[in-house]
Structure 1
Amino acid sequence: MNKKEISKEIEQFATSLRLPGIKKYFQENAKEAATRDISYEEYLYGLLQKEYDLRQEHAKENRIRLANFSYKKYLEDLKVEHLPDDANRKLKVLSSLEFIKNGQNVILAGNPGTGKTHIAIGLGIKACLAGYRVAFTTIPTLINQLKESRSEKTLHTFENKFAKYDLVIADELGYISFDKEGSELLFTNLSLRAGRKSTIITTNLSFERWAEIFQDPVMTAAMVDRLTHKAYLVNMNGNSYRLKETEEWIKNQNIA
């Protein structure tokens, strides 16, 4: 077999064995090995390293894709000077992702436009890059999924999957109220995660107003108690982060 035929066979083997890094780099590494008089072991090591790195990169991309973020927002894009004071103080601690390791919750509570969802998604993407399994959803969407699963008799399967995520981001608690069934399903599934896996909740309501959406004072008290136990409570009340971003954008347009 000549060199060209061998290369073609290697490509086919790499494709069949699902080794995209080796398929992509084996010829490039072989030329380098020949030029620099690299040993067979060093050549194989370098090739496997590239295969590993490529798989790690693909895994990160897949975790971000499967998390189903409504849009991509990164912590690095935050203008911390525009954030409410409490968020500014706690962001460094949250960015370490120790809260996920410890199974702690994060509650971002405050008026609209102050950066709650941006922080939540930014933490979620960082968690994906760190190897954690993450799911993003809004509270209304989650309740609809739970109801549909119950009616289709697949609730147990859905709950098992939901409970295994390292981090669930539940956005927009408080924008709409829900019925008794929705309240009970949400309570059950968020409670199952409490103390075991982390949940980030964004809400525009203070805790004393949660009864307005759960419509059950006893359930509301139990929900607040379980979600806030050893949790990071971040006061997001302040001037609109989005408004400040818009004002800065307009200012830059005028300068241009």
Structure 2
Amino acid sequence: MAPDALIDLCRTLRISGVASCFEELPLTQETEEIRSFLLHALKTEIELRAGRRRLKSVRTAGFPTLKRFDDLDATLLPDDGRRYLPILSSLSFLEEHRNILMIGNSGTGKTHLAIATGICACEQDFRVLFKSTAGLVHEMIEAKQERRLTGLQRMLKRVDLLILDEMGYVTFDPQGAELLFQMLASRHEASSTIVTSNLMFSDWIKVFHDPILTAALLDRITHRALVMNMNGTSFRQR
């Protein structure tokens, strides 16, 4: 067994003192057995740490409930829901920094798909944050009033996948609309955002009121985005 493998694992676990011991250990049959055991132990520790890290990522992402792809009856989804399911579950859009826009009436699986995608991303070590759109806008307004907006904006920009749920359920005042625009503009082509909404794009002006800002926001958020038509029969009516 190459001693470098053990040393690399020690450095991954940040136990450099142990790594230095391996560098001094002679290569004999007896020490080879010790190395084999330690290699297994260190790999197990790395896997356990990774599992704990992913569980923490899911807990801190802010999902209102835990819904996975396995919990979903795909046959009940609208056509686009079924068509784009492989893209969502593979997370290929994240590597390409593309947005996902799920547009349709209530109860057709938009939030379930968004949460399931987010959990899948957490389990692949992506940084994920789930927010209701209205809740995030309120949080940004409050942060601005308390002079901590810059820190919040910096954190939002670093998130690999931001999920904004229920865009359009609440209208925004000019300050809230501007803050949301600035945040989404800062993420443009640098990371991915999933937006769920019950409003067609032509109706978003009812949320933002300003036609120029609405047009600019749509221009950025739809650029290279995957737009899913999620209109269909509500699950709750089946």
2:153 maps to 1:153: no
User: What residue is the counterpart of 2:217 in the other structure?
Assistant: 223
Among candidates 90, 99, 116, match of residue 96 of structure 1: 90
**Per-residue CA distance 1:218-237 (angstroms, 9 max, x = gap):** 11111111000000100000
The TM-score normalised by the length of structure 2 is 0.86
Consecutive aligned runs of 4 or more in structure 1 exceeding 3 Å deviation: none
Q: Quick one: distance in 2 between partners of 1:220 and 1:87?
A: 26
Shift of 1:94: 2.0
Among candidates 109, 112, 124, match of residue 103 of structure 2: 109
Q: Quick one: distance in 2 between partners of 1:229 and 1:241?
A: 30
Shift of 1:64: 0.5
Bigger Rg, which one: 1
Amino acid corresponding to residue 218 of structure 2 in structure 1: V
Among candidates 178, 202, 212, match of residue 172 of structure 2: 178
Among candidates 51, 54, 57, match of residue 63 of structure 1: 57
Q: Quick one: distance in 2 between partners of 1:62 and 1:93?
A: 25
2:203 maps to 1:209: yes
2:73 maps to 1:85: no
SS at match of 2:172: coil
User: What residue is the counterpart of 1:76 in the other structure?
Assistant: 70
8 Å contact kept, 1:171–1:201: yes
SS at match of 2:228: strand
Q: Quick one: distance in 2 between partners of 1:102 and 1:243?
A: 36
RMSD: 1.5
Structure 2 gap segments, 5+ residues each = 1-12, 16-31
Q: Quick one: distance in 2 between partners of 1:160 and 1:103?
A: 18
Amino acid corresponding to residue 187 of structure 1 in structure 2: F
User: What residue is the counterpart of 1:250 in the other structure?
Assistant: none
Between Structure 1 and Structure 2, how many residues are aligned? 210
Shift of 1:86: 1.2
Structure 1 gap segments, 5+ residues each = 1-16, 20-37, 245-256
Amino acid corresponding to residue 106 of structure 2 in structure 1: P
**Per-residue CA distance 1:15-42 (angstroms, 9 max, x = gap):** xx999xxxxxxxxxxxxxxxxxx91111
Amino acid corresponding to residue 155 of structure 1 in structure 2: L
**Per-residue CA distance 1:30-86 (angstroms, 9 max, x = gap):** xxxxxxxx9111111111111111001001101101101111000111111000011
Amino acid corresponding to residue 171 of structure 1 in structure 2: D
Q: Quick one: distance in 2 between partners of 1:18 and 1:171?
A: 39
Amino acid corresponding to residue 53 of structure 1 in structure 2: E
Shift of 1:160: 0.4
User: What residue is the counterpart of 1:12 in the other structure?
Assistant: none
Shift of 1:241: 2.3
Identity %: 41
SS at match of 2:224: coil
Shift of 1:186: 0.5
Amino acid corresponding to residue 137 of structure 1 in structure 2: K
8 Å contact kept, 1:115–1:242: no
